[in-house]
């Protein structure tokens, strides 16, 4: 029993009507499993999906500012008002400065939202854990989108990320990502000590996302 966050990225296959379909599928599957399933749709879809489904919705990114004179910025308060449960922070496709990550982790916590800080290796996992986020999600960037699961290609990164994260902060939970597609990958991640996985193309770009998610979870 673990956690699965599905990152829709800016995939056309995970936008608008298709996003809603994957969200509905996630909602349905959530009811059949004890695994915690959440989705991170495009910010443009977030409000509607949060309104129309019960699946937990996360933002893919937020900006390190509060309400105010910040044209083009997305704040933690905004996503909370729209029903999001939390946000990814510092995804490899939207890296942030250290001071910004610290700001956002604190802000999300203050608002009762969940923070998932993405990292790229053991060192940054250690550093992120020291910021006291809810989750750290380690994803070796070179494996993202390859279909080569981090749990197989780099088990030591997963194992040691978990180890160092818990050593620095026993409350932090660790996800791993990059290349995850099958139930076997998912189980391997949990066996290596991870609390769950971050997955994107494996579900969103699958021919049948619902079936892909069922297979991943094993229901």
Residues designated catalytic: 91, 139
Contact indicator for 183, 218 with CB cutoff of 8 Å: yes
- Euclidean distance between CA atoms 176 and 93, whole angstroms: 16
Q: Whose Cβ is closer to its own copies: residue 139's or residue 188's?
A: 139
Asked whether position 12 contacts its own copies by CB under 8 A, the answer is yes
Q: Whose Cβ is closer to its own copies: residue 91's or residue 173's?
A: 91
- Euclidean distance between CA atoms 112 and 11, whole angstroms: 29
Within residues 141-180, the interface with its own copies by CB under 8 A covers 144-145, 164, 168
**Can you tell me whether residue 123 is helix, strand or coil?**
helix
DSSP string, 173-212: EEEEESS--SHHHHHHHHHTT-SEEEESHHHHTSSSHHHH
User: What H or E segment, with its residue span, contains residue 137?
Assistant: strand 135-138
Candidate list 4, 25, 55, 131; residue touching its own copies; CB under 8 A: 131
Asked whether position 115 contacts its own copies by CB under 8 A, the answer is no
**Closest separation in Å from C-beta 32 to its own copies:** 28
Cα distances (Å, whole numbers) of residue 104 to 47, 108, 162, 218: 20, 6, 22, 34
Asked whether position 78 contacts its own copies by CB under 8 A, the answer is yes
Candidate list 4, 22, 88, 116; residue touching its own copies; CB under 8 A: 88
Asked whether position 60 contacts its own copies by CB under 8 A, the answer is yes
Candidate list 31, 32, 54, 130; residue touching its own copies; CB under 8 A: 130
| Candidates 27-35, 91-99, 147-155, 188-196; binding stretch for its own copies (CB under 8 A) | 91-99
Residues near 87 by Cβ (< 8 Å), separated by ≥ 6? 40, 58, 59, 60, 61, 62, 76, 79, 104, 108, 113, 114, 115, 116
Candidate list 11, 111, 166, 193; residue touching its own copies; CB under 8 A: 11
| Candidates 23-31, 122-130, 179-187, 208-216; binding stretch for its own copies (CB under 8 A) | 122-130
Neighbours of 186 (CB within 10 A): 26
Question: In the complex, which residues of this chain contact its own copies (CB under 8 A)?
Answer: 7, 9-12, 15-16, 40, 42-48, 59-61, 65-75, 77-79, 81-82, 88, 90-99, 101-102, 105-106, 119-121, 123-124, 126-132, 144-145, 164, 168, 200-201
């Amino acid at each position: 029993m673990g956690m699965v966050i599905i990152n829709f990225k800016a995939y056309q296959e995970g936008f608008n009507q298709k996003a809603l379909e994957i969200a509905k599928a996630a909602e349905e599957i959530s009811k059949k499993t004890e695994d915690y399933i959440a989705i991170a749709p495009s910010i443009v879809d977030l409000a509607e999906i949060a309104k129309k489904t019960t699946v937990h919705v996360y933002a893919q990114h937020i900006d390190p500012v509060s309400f105010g004179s910040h044209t083009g910025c997305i704040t933690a308060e905004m996503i909370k008002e729209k029903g999001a449960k939390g946000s990814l922070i510092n995804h490899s496709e939207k890296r942030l400065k250290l001071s910004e990550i610290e700001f956002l982790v604190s802000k999300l916590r203050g608002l009762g939202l969940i923070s998932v800080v993405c990292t790229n290796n053991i060192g940054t996992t250690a550093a992120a854990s020291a910021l006291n986020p809810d989750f750290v999600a380690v994803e070796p960037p070179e494996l993202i989108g390859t279909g080569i699961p981090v749990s197989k290609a780099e088990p030591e990164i997963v194992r040691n990320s978990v180890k160092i994260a818990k050593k620095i902060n026993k409350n932090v939970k660790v996800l791993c990502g990059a290349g995850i597609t099958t139930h076997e990958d998912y189980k391997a991640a949990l066996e290596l000590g991870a609390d769950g996985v971050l997955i994107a193309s494996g579900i969103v770009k699958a021919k049948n996302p619902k079936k892909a998610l069922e297979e991943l979870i094993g229901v």
